[in-house]
Structure 1
Amino acid sequence: MIDVIRAPAQARSQRTMDEVYRSLDALLKTKPFDEITISDLATHADVAVGSIYARFKDKKALLAGLHLKVSDQAITCMGPLSAPAKWEGRTDDQMVRAIMKSVDRFYRREAHVLGAAYLADTGHITEMRTKVWEAAVENFTALLVARDPETDPAQLQLAVRIIVRLTTAVTMQSVLIDWISRWKGAVPNVVALEHLSRFAVDTIVRARTGRLNTGDADVGALDEGG
């Protein structure tokens, strides 16, 4: 549990906490986080303001808690999505495109929470983003190694780091700039995903042929997450 959130000791307190989370989730779909007050949350959740402060240090702590729940969902989804059996008989191209679409759907479904959390960017939220990043690298590296055990695992891990880093950047851009489609000459999201999928497949091929390297780049920088 995040240190600015007090874990409930009773079932009734847990229900109150869950209702406050649901209320924040709902309100974030209608207005920016900065415009949501504790009073708004209390009214929406039909709880006392004091009940909220009994569980959360402040409004950002509540957002961090909701972001934690979304992050845990993301990590849970990676399990079946990165299971080798799921992709038996499928080409790398088919697998990558399907995974990219799943990631895009998740980001769009949770855009209101992820966007608010990204902009608030507390230490707890940064920690969870890093945790999701590390889980993605671990799960999808294991998937590629299982599909091609003859390839150097370090090359495959580097490929996954690069792909996850760029995928995160593209999807978060869509989350933060929901009006990007109105830019003059903007590339539609479906087109961006198509090219990102092609890049991902090409990166995997280069890793399998031992042609993936970072030159003078700082490999460690790829571990920063997004």
Structure 2
Amino acid sequence: MAAPQPSTPDSASPAIGRSLLWPLIAVGLGFLLVYNSFDASAGVPPAPSVVSLPAASAPAAPSPSASTSAAPSGLPRSEPERISIKSIAVDAPFTPLSVGPSGQLDAPPASDPNLAGWFKDGATPGERGTSVVAGHVDTKTGPAVFLLLSTLKAGNTVDITREDGVVATFEVDSVETFSKADFPDDRVYADKGTAQLRLITCGGVYDKKKKDYEDNVVVFAHLASARNS
């Protein structure tokens, strides 16, 4: 993803800008990998920015029943409509994201701070594979949708409402921080043969010269259950 380049942050102005950058990488059985980074001003704490990347889609599983049911392997393909993470007060709609001519994944529009993006050419959330969702940590007007992403804990849940009316619930396995200079693409985007979700954001120290955070915060989660909304 790429967003307009922000001006150099300073203590006198809370203006915030950020850009998402993921070098496109082919891994495993040819699914896309994306690496992101965000810029933010000094007026916002170096909290994470967000971005998740899906892996290639796999055979669909049967639709769940009206009641809550276990969904260990995956669901049929269906585009996401809304993400809810109650533990960090996230409730936001989705916009599809694609890889631009430069090989970078486009960022969600900076004009809407409460908007998550999903990599439309990868697995949809709940589908077998590694699904990636992206969002900003902040905008020029203040905090954005994934400001508190790094505070998630193992056992927290992420609900994604899909176009087919199914709510896919993911359970957080871990939240880890990686240096952008040594980002573990294979580990983050590996296809485990089940429905996985990755929420990726910026974190660590903000480099004023580079206008970028030094690290990425990655939320690892798996599909725990699904129900009809």
Larger Rg: 1
Give TM-score, length-normalised by structure 1: 0.28
Could you say which structure has the higher strand fraction?
Answer: 2
Give TM-score, length-normalised by structure 2: 0.28
Greater RCO (Cα-Cα under 8 Å, separation 6 or more): 2
